[in-house]
Structure 1
Amino acid sequence: MGDPMEPAERLALTLTSGGMQRMTARVLCALLFAEQETVTAGELADWLTISPGTVSTAIKSLTSVGLIERVPAPGSRREHFRFRDGAWAILMSSQNEMIKIMQEAADEGIDAVGEDSIAGHRLAEMRDFYTYLMAELPAVIDRWHASRDGQPPPGGSSR
Structure 2
Amino acid sequence: MSAIRSYFKQIINTIHWDDTIAFDNHPFAYRVIDDLYKLKIKISVISYSTDIIRYVSKNTDFNIIIPNGVVDSANHNIIGPDVTQTFAKYQIQYYFATASHMTEDKLFQDNQTIADMQLTLNERAEQILLMNRPEIISSELQHNYNEIGCF
Asked if TM exceeds 0.5, the reply is no
Q: TM-score, normalised by structure 1?
A: 0.28
Q: Which has the higher strand share?
A: 2
Structure with the higher helix share, 1 or 2: 1
**Per chain length, whose mean CA-contact separation is higher, i.e. which structure has more relative contact order (CA < 8 Å, sep 6+)?**
2
Structure possessing the higher radius of gyration over alpha carbons? 1
TM-score under structure 2 length normalisation:
0.29
